Structure 1
Amino acid sequence: MTNFSITKFVPEYLRANPDVRFTARQIAIWIMETHPEAVENKRKKSAARKTPLDTDDAMLQQIVAEIGAQRKGLEGRHAIRTTEGRPRKFFYSDKSELEEVAENAVSDLIGNEQTQGVKHSEHDLYPLFRDYLHNEHQVICKRIDERKSSNNRGSNGNRWLFPDIVGMEDLSQHWDREVIDCAKEYSDKKTKLWSFELKLKVNSTNLRETFFQAVSNSSWANLGYLVAVEFQGSETLGELRLLSGLHGIGVMRFDPEDFSSSEILIPSRERAEIDWGTVNRIVQQNPDFKDYVSLVRQFYQTGNLKPSEWH
């Protein structure tokens, strides 16, 4: 008789499919299809304990719940890794977290979507993320290319000064004309300025570097976010919440394949005022950022967003 064992079946499946991410539900379906004898044995035991799992759906939900409940044990004793956000995914990899981060950096450097199994480069995310922000958050965005910088810091130095994406949220888009004119007379703001630092992956190896890069790049804005396609590790979000509480940077998970699955994991703490001194510093060193400030100014003067010029 085959005994039912989450700590046996889950590693078995994930090790047979290295680097592939699976939800707990997908793993549970595989277990039910591959180990029917063990599943039936579990069903009989549940009936004896008066906790019947008499339908396949009830059994599936129970297995999903048990996979989630044993996550930390799977991570600690069986080297299984997990992602944060919804839905959580489980996977096995021979690569260290440092190697994964380095692999993504190489993919981004040469702009190859399929380099070493990496589906997207970081640069691939920019237009997709801009579309997501415009459609889901009504934030119109512009890409800031650090390579256009006039300073001599080199690419590594510029990483700590220029955000990847900047945006403007039009608070007045649904206001009556009288309200807009009244707010203008009172010199009240009718926008929020956003700043985003995008990454493919954040794990324990690069967590603090990427977070403080977002802090450095977003110190001028009303709202600043660290954005990644994938957050790995059971402790990652906990540490990010701690850092966010201290520095106010928000955390967002972006799904380039399904915008509706993207989510704000930790809201940014809004700053009431723009740091115009820092804005001036960046404007003097990057033409893309200067264009951004010009577009914001024109919007305040004319009320016209000029979407074709935000790219």
Structure 2
Amino acid sequence: MAKMNLRQTIADLLKAHPNERFTARQIAEWIFANQREACEEKRKNSQQDLSDDAAFLWQLVAEIGSNRPVIQKRWPQIRTTEGRPRQYYWTAASEAAEVAEVEKQAQANKPGKLSEHDLYPLLCRYLHGDLKLYPKRIDEKRATNRHGPNGNKWLFPDLVALENLGEDWDQEIRACVQQAGAQRARLWSFEVKLLINRANVRETWFQAVSNSSWANLGYLVAADIQESAMKELRLLGASYGIGLIRLDTGAPSESEILIPARERSEIDWDACNRLAVENSDFREFVSWVRQFHQTDSAQVGKWDIPEAVDF
């Protein structure tokens, strides 16, 4: 009687049908239909009662799933989809190229698709309406210097914000803190993306690290965060202190902080000086922060606050 080599059988099936996708159930049914002798030998040697065909198929499905990590390590060309039920397929494309193509198709097929710039006012709505921050857009195109191809994307954040720590304080407390020279504001920095997936997770994260190193709190924000990237994002968050926000484009108030940022007690004013010298938007932001400390009012700045939001 023939003995079944399940891993090799799965690899041979997928390789013979490149780019065609199969669920574990479909693979199990193909094996049962095409390798009946090996299946009967496996059924006979099993310690479980697999006399019923349905029970045998379910056992095959379970073994396919449990063998998936080993199969994909041995045959890197075998990939699986992220949704449920998971689908298995063979492809010669690199993982980065494949994910980029999936992202491109998803955006192309999405009606009324958003651009990254469309996310900025939505994020401002969430920051001001829910977190009570005073946000400002920083346009990297206003930089006086260019640091090579796409160099400025590693220097300037997409948005910055001021948090008035004494917004709800009693007037006497606010005056006391002002006289004592204690901290009265936190400065936030945001790097915004449409999508974070396993292909771009590290690049987007370290861009946020680079652009937010000057601030008390730095965040990476995305409208679409694929589950395949979350493990890496949590590890990076623990190591570098950058936070993560999922932006709900349909209802910004439903956005959520998935990973809280780790606060830095001091502002890096040397880094701020470089940003202010090279970008008029950032220099204006620093000016509004200065006026806030002078007047104890954030209303001195023309913040990017949607008119519909007021508190």
TM-score by length of 1: 0.66
Once residues 146 and 211 of structure 1 are traced to their aligned partners in structure 2, the CA distance between those partners, rounded to angstroms, is 18
Once residues 165 and 121 of structure 1 are traced to their aligned partners in structure 2, the CA distance between those partners, rounded to angstroms, is 16
SS at match of 1:214: helix
In the alignment, what sits opposite 1:66? none
Asked whether 1:244 is paired with 2:237, we answer yes
Task: Map Cα deviations across residues 255-279 of structure 1 (whole Å, 9 max, x no partner).
Answer: 1102243111111000001000100
Once residues 310 and 147 of structure 1 are traced to their aligned partners in structure 2, the CA distance between those partners, rounded to angstroms, is 19
In the alignment, what sits opposite 1:138? 132
Query: Of 221, 227, 230, which residue of structure 2 is paired with 1:233?
Result: 227
- Which residue identity lines up with residue 278 of structure 1 in the other structure? A
Task: Map Cα deviations across residues 118-145 of structure 1 (whole Å, 9 max, x no partner).
Answer: 7110000001110111011111100000
Asked whether 1:268 is paired with 2:261, we answer yes
Once residues 103 and 144 of structure 2 are traced to their aligned partners in structure 1, the CA distance between those partners, rounded to angstroms, is 28
Aligned-pair CA distance for 1:248? 0.5
Is residue 142–residue 292 contact of structure 1 (8 Å, CA) maintained in 2? yes
Aligned residue pairs total: 230
Asked whether 1:303 is paired with 2:305, we answer no
- Which residue identity lines up with residue 252 of structure 1 in the other structure? I
In the alignment, what sits opposite 1:257? 250
Once residues 296 and 276 of structure 1 are traced to their aligned partners in structure 2, the CA distance between those partners, rounded to angstroms, is 13
- Which residue identity lines up with residue 265 of structure 2 in the other structure? A
- Change in Cα spacing, 1:103 to 1:140, as seen in structure 2 (3 Å) is farther
Aligned-pair CA distance for 1:117? 3.1
In the alignment, what sits opposite 1:209? 203
Structure with the greater alpha carbon radius of gyration: 2
Is residue 103–residue 116 contact of structure 1 (8 Å, CA) maintained in 2? yes
In the alignment, what sits opposite 1:174? 168
In the alignment, what sits opposite 1:282? 275
Any gaps of 5 or more consecutive residues in structure 1? 1-5, 10-69, 83-87, 105-113
Once residues 228 and 212 of structure 1 are traced to their aligned partners in structure 2, the CA distance between those partners, rounded to angstroms, is 14
Once residues 265 and 152 of structure 1 are traced to their aligned partners in structure 2, the CA distance between those partners, rounded to angstroms, is 33
Is residue 164–residue 196 contact of structure 1 (8 Å, CA) maintained in 2? yes
Is residue 227–residue 254 contact of structure 1 (8 Å, CA) maintained in 2? yes
Any gaps of 5 or more consecutive residues in structure 2? 1-22, 27-64, 73-77, 92-96, 305-311
Taking every aligned residue pair, what percent have the same amino acid on both sides? 47
- Which residue identity lines up with residue 98 of structure 2 in the other structure? S
In the alignment, what sits opposite 1:98? 100
In the alignment, what sits opposite 1:79? 80
The alignment's C-alpha RMSD in Å is 3.2
Once residues 91 and 189 of structure 1 are traced to their aligned partners in structure 2, the CA distance between those partners, rounded to angstroms, is 53
Once residues 198 and 152 of structure 1 are traced to their aligned partners in structure 2, the CA distance between those partners, rounded to angstroms, is 20
In the alignment, what sits opposite 2:150? 156
Once residues 259 and 141 of structure 1 are traced to their aligned partners in structure 2, the CA distance between those partners, rounded to angstroms, is 15
Once residues 233 and 179 of structure 1 are traced to their aligned partners in structure 2, the CA distance between those partners, rounded to angstroms, is 45
Is residue 144–residue 163 contact of structure 1 (8 Å, CA) maintained in 2? yes
- Which residue identity lines up with residue 128 of structure 1 in the other structure? L
Once residues 180 and 301 of structure 2 are traced to their aligned partners in structure 1, the CA distance between those partners, rounded to angstroms, is 30
SS at match of 1:282: helix
Aligned-pair CA distance for 1:8? 5.8
Once residues 173 and 219 of structure 1 are traced to their aligned partners in structure 2, the CA distance between those partners, rounded to angstroms, is 25
